[in-house]
Amino acid sequence: METYDRLPIEPGLQRKHSVSIRRWFRSGDPWIWLSATAVGVSIVAVVGLITLIAWKGLAHFWPADVHTIEYHDEWDEYVLVGEIAQRESISRDLYQEFNPSDTELPPGSVRRWMMKTGNRKVNAPDFRWIDVHLIESKIQDPNMVVFERSEWGNAYGTIVELRESGQTIAVDDLWSELKRRVQRASSLRNTSEKLQKRSIDQINYQLERLRLQQRKRELRGNFETADLNTKQSELIQEYELHEQSLREIDEKLQRDQVVIRIANGSESIIELRDIEHLWRPNSMSFLSKFGHYVSTIWNFLTQDSREANTEGGIFPALFGTILMVILMSVLVTPFGVIAAVYLREYARQGTLVRLIRIAVNNLAGVPSIVYGVFGLGFFVYLIGGTIDDLFFEAAKPAPTFGTPGLIWASLTLALLTVPVVIVSTEEGLTRIPSALREGSLALGATKAETLFKVVMPMASPAMLTGVILAIARAAGEVAPLMLVGVVKLAPSLPIDGNFPFLHLDRKFMHLGFHIYDVGFQSPNVDAVRPLVFATALLLILIIIVLNLTAILLRNRLEARYREALQ
C-alpha cells in the first residue's frame, strides 16, 4: 500500500494564519454574524409559527366536501357521511399492537381519517376515526346538505320533505324552497333578538333603576313611591306588549320543519328556527365556496358564541379585549409618565431614588397572578367595596363595584405594565441633552415650561415605546384577568344604549381567556381545536396592529426631533 507524507507547513505561515484568526475574532465580525444568524432564526421561527396557526385556523372555515363512505371492520359494516377533518399515518407495528385481528393491512404505514359525521343529537359521537384500507366505497352526493344549527353542531343529510304546521309541502324544488324559508326564519329570529336585547333589556334596566331609587328613599325614611309606581306600571305594560310580540314571533318560528335522511338511513326532523346556515358543498363552484368562506369568517368575527363557546363567533371576546387594552393604555400612560418625570427631573438623586428604581425594575419580574391577587384584594374588595358603601348602598347586598369588572381588570393590568412605561420614559428623558434644558432656561422659560414644551415632546418616542410594550403584554395576559373581571360568557357587553353607556362595573370576555377555556375546558375537543387556532391568530393580529400603530406614531415623532437630538 502506498503512503504519502504530509507536506510540512512553514512555521511563519502557521503563525500568520493564527494571528489572522485572532484578529478576526477581536474585530467582532463573528459576533455580528452570530447575532444576525440568531435574528434570522427567530424571524423564521415566528413567521413559521404564525403561518402554522393561520393554516390550522383559517382552513376550518372552508366548506369542505361531504363524503358518503361505506366502511367495514371486524364487527359490522357502516355508512358514514361527513367531512374529512384530519389525516394521519401510523406505523404498521403500532397499528397491529392495538388491532391484532385485522389481517387486511396494506404494506407500509396505515392511513387513518378523522371524519366529522355530525348529527350528534341522534347519532353520537360526531367525530370518528376510520382506517382507509377498510373503506369499500367513497362518493360525493351533490344533494348532500350541511346544516349549521344553533345547538348540537352540524347535521348532514339529504332533504326528504318540508313541513309547514305538521303538513308536508308539495313543491318541485325543495332546495330553493328550503333556503327561502330558512331566510324567513333567520329574519324572524333576528327580529326577536333585537326586541330582546334592545327593548326588553332596556325596560329591565329601567325597572332595576326604579327599584334602586325606591330602596334609596326607604333608607332615607321617605316612603312616598307613587311617582315611581306610576312609572313602573307604564314600563310593565310596555314589557307585556313586547312579550306578546315575542310570543307571536316564536309561534311563527315553530311553523316550519325539514325532514332529512342521515347516514344510517333513518330520518331526522330539524326545526328551521334552529338552522343558522345551510349549504351543499359538493355542488358548489370555487367562487361560491370562496364567497361562503369569506362570509363564514365574517360571521366568526361578528357573532356571539354558542354551545359553551364551541360554536358561533367571538365578537364579545374581541370587543372586550380591545376595550380593556384601550382603557389600560389610558390609565397606565399618565401614571407611568408622571412617575418617570418625577424620578428623573424633580426627585433629588440619592439612595432613596436608587431604591425606588430597583423596586420598579423588580416589579416587572413579579408573576402576573400575584398582580391578580393584589387587584382582587385591593381594587375589588377594598376600593370597590368602599365605593358600594358610599354610593350604592341601595343595591346592597348585591355588589356594584365590589365585584370583579372591567375597570378593575384595566387597573390591574395598568399596575402590571406601569414599570415598563416608567423605565422607557426615564431612558427617553436621559437621552435629552442637558444643553437643550439649559438653553431653554437661559431664554427665560421656567422649569415647567422647559419640561412640557421641550423635554417631554422630544421624549415622546420613548414614552410610546413603553406603551407599545405595555399593550403587547397586557393583550396576552390571562392569569390576573381570571380574578378581576374576565368570565367564560358575559350576559351583555360593557357598552350599550343605557345610561351611562359605558358600564365599567360589568364583567367581560377576553380572547386570551377564551383560548384557554375553549382549548382546555371544552367538552368536545375535536370540534373546538380549529377555533383555538383561529382565535389565537386573531389575538396575534390585534397585537401586531396595535404595535404597528404605536410604532408608526413613534417613528414620526423620532423623525421630527432627530435633528435636535444629534
User: Per the domain annotation, does 311 fall within a domain?
Assistant: no
Residue ranges making up the domain that contains 128:
67-148
Q: State whether 449 and 533 are in the same domain.
A: yes
Q: SS3 helix, strand, coil % of the chain, rounded to 5?
A: 60, 15, 25
d(CA 531, CA 314): 10
Q: State whether 272 and 356 are in the same domain.
A: no
Whether residue 484 has pLDDT greater than 50: yes
User: Per the domain annotation, does 272 fall within a domain?
Assistant: yes
Q: How many domains does the chain have?
A: 4
Output b/e per residue, 380-396; b: 16+ Cβ within 10 A: bbebbbeebeeebebbe
User: In whole angstroms, what separates CA 109 from the centre of its chain?
Assistant: 38
- Domain edge (last residue) among 265, 284, 303: 284
| Sequence-distant (≥ 6) Cβ neighbours of residue 287 within 8 angstroms | none
Split at pLDDT 50, 70, 90, the class of 42 is very high
pLDDT tens profile 421-450: 998 888 888 888 888 888 888 888 888 888
Contact 81, 156 (CB under 8 A): yes
Q: State whether 361 and 460 are in the same domain.
A: yes
pLDDT tens profile 361-394: 888 788 889 999 999 999 999 999 999 988 888 8
User: In whole angstroms, what separates CA 331 from the centre of its chain?
Assistant: 22
Q: State whether 349 and 244 are in the same domain.
A: no
| Sequence-distant (≥ 6) Cβ neighbours of residue 88 within 8 angstroms | 111, 112, 114
The predicted structure's pLDDT at residue 283: 92
| Sequence-distant (≥ 6) Cβ neighbours of residue 89 within 8 angstroms | 109, 110, 111, 112
- Give 453-459's long-range contacts (Cβ < 8 A, gap of 24+): 455/345, 455/429, 456/337, 456/341, 457/557, 457/561, 458/428, 458/432, 458/561, 458/564, 458/565, 459/425, 459/428, 459/429, 459/431, 459/432
The predicted structure's pLDDT at residue 245: 92
Cα angle 64, 68, 70; round to 5: 140
d(CA 294, CA 312): 15
Contact 520, 303 (CB under 8 A): no
> Is 70 exposed, middle or buried (CB count within 10 Å of its CB: 0-12, 13-18, 19+)?
middle
The predicted structure's pLDDT at residue 94: 77
Q: Is the peptide bond before 500 cis (omega within 30 degrees of 0)?
A: yes
Residue with cell 363564514: 296
Split at pLDDT 50, 70, 90, the class of 562 is low
**Closest to 321 in 3D by CA, of 501, 491, 513:** 513
Q: State whether 134 and 173 are in the same domain.
A: no
Q: State whether 445 and 550 are in the same domain.
A: yes
User: Per the domain annotation, does 309 fall within a domain?
Assistant: no
- Residue 131: how many CB atoms within 10 A of its CB? 19
DSSP state, residue 254 = T
**Closest to 424 in 3D by CA, of 340, 338, 348:** 340
Mean pLDDT of 299-309: 87
- Domain edge (last residue) among 255, 284, 313: 284
Cα angle 474, 354, 369; round to 5: 25
Split at pLDDT 50, 70, 90, the class of 7 is very low
User: In whole angstroms, what separates CA 541 from the centre of its chain?
Assistant: 10
**Closest to 240 in 3D by CA, of 205, 200, 189:** 200
The helix or strand, by DSSP H or E, that contains position 210, with its residue range, turns out to be helix 201-219
User: Per the domain annotation, does 535 fall within a domain?
Assistant: yes
CA dihedral for 479, 485, 487, 490, sign (positive or negative): negative
Mean pLDDT of 132-159: 89
d(CA 70, CA 263): 10
Share of the chain above pLDDT 90, in %: 31
Q: State whether 529 and 450 are in the same domain.
A: yes
The predicted structure's pLDDT at residue 287: 93
d(CA 39, CA 47): 12
Split at pLDDT 50, 70, 90, the class of 1 is very low
Average pLDDT taken over every residue of the chain: 86
The predicted structure's pLDDT at residue 102: 65
The predicted structure's pLDDT at residue 446: 85
User: In whole angstroms, what separates CA 402 from the centre of its chain?
Assistant: 26
Whether residue 68 has pLDDT greater than 50: yes
Whether residue 296 has pLDDT greater than 70: yes
> Is 525 exposed, middle or buried (CB count within 10 Å of its CB: 0-12, 13-18, 19+)?
middle
User: Per the domain annotation, does 119 fall within a domain?
Assistant: yes
Q: Is the peptide bond before 125 cis (omega within 30 degrees of 0)?
A: yes
- Residue 162: how many CB atoms within 10 A of its CB? 19
The helix/strand/coil state of 75 is coil
- Residue 93: how many CB atoms within 10 A of its CB? 9
Share of the chain above pLDDT 70, in %: 94
Q: Which amino acid appears at position 328 of this protein?
A: M
pLDDT tens profile 173-222: 889 999 999 999 999 999 998 898 888 888 999 998 988 888 888 888 88
Whether residue 10 has pLDDT greater than 60: no
- Domain edge (last residue) among 284, 312, 339: 284
Phi and psi, residue 535, nearest 5°:
-70, -40
Radius of gyration of the chain (CA): 33
Q: State whether 24 and 106 are in the same domain.
A: no
> Is 510 exposed, middle or buried (CB count within 10 Å of its CB: 0-12, 13-18, 19+)?
buried
The strand pair at 67-72 and 77-90 is best described as: antiparallel
Split at pLDDT 50, 70, 90, the class of 491 is confident
Looking at per-residue confidence, does 104 or 258 come out higher? Answer: 258
Q: Which residues pair with 163 in a beta bridge?
A: 168, 257
Whether residue 545 has pLDDT greater than 80: yes
pLDDT tens profile 253-280: 989 999 999 887 888 899 999 999 999 9
Q: State whether 33 and 168 are in the same domain.
A: no
User: Per the domain annotation, does 279 fall within a domain?
Assistant: yes
d(CA 547, CA 467): 9
The helix/strand/coil state of 544 is helix
DSSP state, residue 2 = -
Question: Model's pTM, two decimal places?
Answer: 0.85
The predicted structure's pLDDT at residue 98: 72
Q: State whether 394 and 510 are in the same domain.
A: yes
DSSP state, residue 486 = B
User: Per the domain annotation, does 173 fall within a domain?
Assistant: yes
Q: State whether 114 and 203 are in the same domain.
A: no
Split at pLDDT 50, 70, 90, the class of 103 is low
Looking at per-residue confidence, does 458 or 292 come out higher? Answer: 292
The helix/strand/coil state of 98 is helix
Mean pLDDT of 349-355: 85
Whether residue 104 has pLDDT greater than 80: no
Mean pLDDT of 395-407: 90
The helix or strand, by DSSP H or E, that contains position 86, with its residue range, turns out to be strand 77-90
**Closest to 537 in 3D by CA, of 325, 373, 297, 207:** 297
Residue with cell 309547514: 164
| Sequence-distant (≥ 6) Cβ neighbours of residue 18 within 8 angstroms | none
User: Per the domain annotation, does 35 fall within a domain?
Assistant: yes
Contact 480, 412 (CB under 8 A): yes
The predicted structure's pLDDT at residue 405: 92
Q: State whether 406 and 265 are in the same domain.
A: no
